[in-house]
Structure 1
């Protein structure tokens, strides 16, 4: 197994155990993380996002497969099942991840999933009717970033 494939596996195994510190340890200090909600998180912010999400996880499970990697890049498929804390609704998020590596660590991580599909599960009727609209998706992103900032302030105190 390529060492970068082992790194991706270590990342998701840590996630299965909600071990955000072990996840963050897989990241290069210059990491950039993107997904449809958190766009352009850099460095410590990327690790803090996982710390926040793991600390809030309820009824959480994760499966991953299709891990491949070479010297430069890699990918994986993963499915997370969890209770969305703001609504109590169950979400099954099916995600494709891509990675780039530097110095044996993940320097770029991009997760791709259908935000409208996610919003339908997480938000219910509002997500079904309005989750495809750019202003609603923008509000989801804004609320998520505000939650991350509040989490970081709380950890700093």
Structure 2
């Protein structure tokens, strides 16, 4: 018999491949805690709205995933998201390692890790190459991401 927690993460990634933010958000518990190097920590509906925003902007998007491993209520997986960064039009190939905590058949915590400097080199070009490893530029990346999410949420609420 297949592991139901691994199946949940498989469903999450299939929805991601299908650019279906609603199906992704449906895998989350209401009190989801999401964290990654760009957005920092998001709670509840913010996490689903992040996917809604990112996938609404997705251009030339593809996703592959692998190595889904479940141990009790914890699941780990790898994915590679390839897309055109909307702000610069540059191609990004982001290799992400995810860790999920599952409760009652829903994702209650997701922590994504990836190399932010590598991401910035691809997304921002020369500026990212030269300065993307600095805390100043990384803070600016986070600030812009959070600002974009807040604006998206404000417009969506109207």
Report the TM-score when normalising by structure 1. Answer: 0.99
Match of 2:97 in 1: 96
After superposition, residues 74-113 of structure 1 pair within 5 angstroms as 74-113=75-114
* Residues 5 and 70, structure 1, Cα contact 8 Å, conserved in 2: no
* Uncovered stretches (5+) of structure 1, i.e. residues with no partner: none
Match of 1:69 in 2: 70
Match of 1:152 in 2: 153
Report the TM-score when normalising by structure 2. Answer: 0.98
Equivalent residue of 1:86, what SS? coil
Match of 1:48 in 2: 49
Partner deviation per Cα, 1:51-80 (whole Å, 9 max, x = no partner): 000100000000001011133101100000
Match of 1:142 in 2: 143
* Uncovered stretches (5+) of structure 2, i.e. residues with no partner: none
Residues matched between the structures, number: 157
Q: Does 1:58 align with 2:59?
A: yes
Equivalent residue of 2:7, what SS? helix
Q: Structure 1 runs of 4+ off > 3 angstroms?
A: none
Equivalent residue of 2:102, what SS? strand
Equivalent residue of 1:40, what SS? strand
Tell me, in whole angstroms, the C-alpha distance in 1 between the residues paired with 2:73 and 2:82: 30
